Homo-oligomer: A and B are copies of this chain.
Amino acid sequence: MKLGFIGLGIMGAPMALHLINAGHTVYVSAARRVPDAIKASAAVPCATVQEVASHAEVVFLMVPDTPDVEAVLFGENGVAAALQAGGGERKVIVDMSSISPMATKAFAQKINALGADYIDAPVSGGEVGAKAASLTIMCGGEPAVFERVRPLLEKMGKNITLVGGNGDGQTTKVANQIIVALNIAAVGEALVFASKAGADPAKVREALMGGFASSRILEVHGERMIKRTFAPGFRIALHQKDLGLALQGARELGLALPQTAGAAQLMQVCAAHGDDQLDHSALVKALELMADHEIG
């Protein structure tokens, strides 16, 4: 198939390579940064995003944030300019970036009005998952459109779910990031309490596994806190952006997320101490700083 891929960063480049290696013709924009691995591949450079979208049947986006998606879609020489030209088969835009669910709904409506389809498909699994083609992909959109792009998504991920209509993929990603952040804070507070009370946090963690306190975070991030292995993983700076989507979304939707707001502040304590490039399990360092006590 003729595909487009916009956003060839740490995540996007290996994802695009999986599509290229599967034998698809992948158009990329030479007006944007093109990493060496893509230059050395069979990827076809185009002058602009508009040109990419004019060639491609399916255009993938993997850019940092909501304004970046907006610029790629509706900016000068963007995707929308190619759609307005019309002609050919109905195209699909697949946004794999993690952005605002509400903005996604608006973007999808505008793309639909231009005669194209839209799937929001944010991922979790990080750079490791992108390279291993083992990403979890949370999708929103029409079932028929989802089925059309599913074989392509399967080249990049393993656990691929259509949650509902447009925006629901992004909503699920936000929900995921809320739970992950709050579960990290939970394990952090429990282990700092246990350590300061004189117990061995490693033994406490073991005793809690298998009970109601058990979670993937207690398993993976609890161990990182105890072993002090804070190399990312998933960086605090990125999780801060995702909690920003949650808190801004809550404001737009009219709801309160007091615990998420608290966890975001703990990450800002880390950022204030220059730790925002560490793995998000390093949130425990904010609690340790506040307690003047390091666990273990």
**Which residues from chain A sit less than 8 Å from chain B, CB to CB?**
101-102, 124, 136, 138, 140, 159, 161, 163-165, 167-168, 171-172, 174-176, 178-183, 185-187, 189-194, 196-200, 203-204, 206-208, 210-218, 220, 246, 249-250, 253-260, 262-263, 265-266, 287, 290-293
Contacts and interface: CB of A to CB of B under 8 A. Distances in A.
B193 A257 contact: yes
A7 B252 CA distance: 51
Contacts of A262: 258-259, 262
Nearest to A217: B212
Contacts of A161: 203, 206-207
A238 B109 CA distance: 48
A101 B259 contact: no
Tell which of A168, A186, A218 has the most Cβ of chain B within 10 Å: A186
Contacts of A256: 287, 290-291
A211 B204 contact: no
B258 A176 contact: no
Contacts of A255: 192-193, 196, 287, 290-291, 293
A179 B172 contact: no
B182 A189 contact: yes
A140 B197 CA distance: 13
A158 to B, nearest CB: 10
Given A175-B208, A183-B183, A259-B263, 19 more contacts: A102-B197, A136-B210, A163-B200, A163-B207, A167-B198, A168-B200, A171-B194, A172-B207, A175-B190, A175-B191, A176-B190, A178-B193, A179-B213, A181-B186, A212-B216, A212-B220, A214-B216, A254-B292, A255-B291
